[in-house]
């Protein structure tokens, strides 16, 4: 049996000592995508369910252990097809958060965010 791309990403993350966070659903609208990301990363109760709050939580992650955190979103193309505007907005926030937490980023600390989007 062949592995899915998500399984490969999780194994590669584990091999380098990173924590994997899988989006368990396949959201097709903005609110369900925000909720799925929040669930995958165990966002605190104060998460405001909007793009600004998404960025704030993604660039904080203080409730998670130190190290790299890989957010794996299998089927991200479903949101892209159903609501391209929401997909682009959320994808932009994910990219901005990755840059902010990267070495040399304006929010860099001992946690790093890597986002892996897969079709399917």
The per-residue b/e assignment along 34-52, b for 16 or more CB within 10 angstroms, e otherwise, is bbbbbebbebeeebeeebe
For residue 118, what pLDDT band results from cuts at 50, 70 and 90?
confident
**Burial class for 77, CB neighbours closer than 10 Å (0-12, 13-18, 19+):** middle
- Per-residue pLDDT of 10-19, as tens digits, reads 899 999 999 9
pLDDT reported for residue 90: 98
- Per-residue pLDDT of 40-73, as tens digits, reads 999 999 999 999 999 999 999 999 999 999 999 9
Contact between residue 87 and residue 80 where contact means Cβ atoms under 8 Å apart: yes
pTM of the model: 0.91
Contact between residue 90 and residue 33 where contact means Cβ atoms under 8 Å apart: yes
């Amino acid at each position: 049996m062949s592995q899915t791309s998500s399984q490969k990403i999780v194994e590669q993350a584990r091999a380098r000592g990173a924590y994997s966070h899988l989006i368990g659903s396949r959201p097709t609208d903005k609110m369900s995508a925000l909720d799925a990301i929040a669930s995958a990363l165990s966002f605190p109760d104060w998460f405001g369910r909007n793009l600004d709050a998404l960025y704030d939580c993604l660039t904080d992650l203080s409730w998670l252990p130190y190290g790299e955190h890989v957010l794996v979103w299998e089927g991200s193309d479903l949101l892209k097809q159903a609501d391209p505007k929401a997909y682009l907005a959320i994808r932009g926030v994910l990219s901005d958060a990755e840059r902010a937490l990267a070495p040399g980023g304006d929010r860099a600390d001992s946690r790093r965010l890597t986002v892996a989007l897969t079709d399917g």
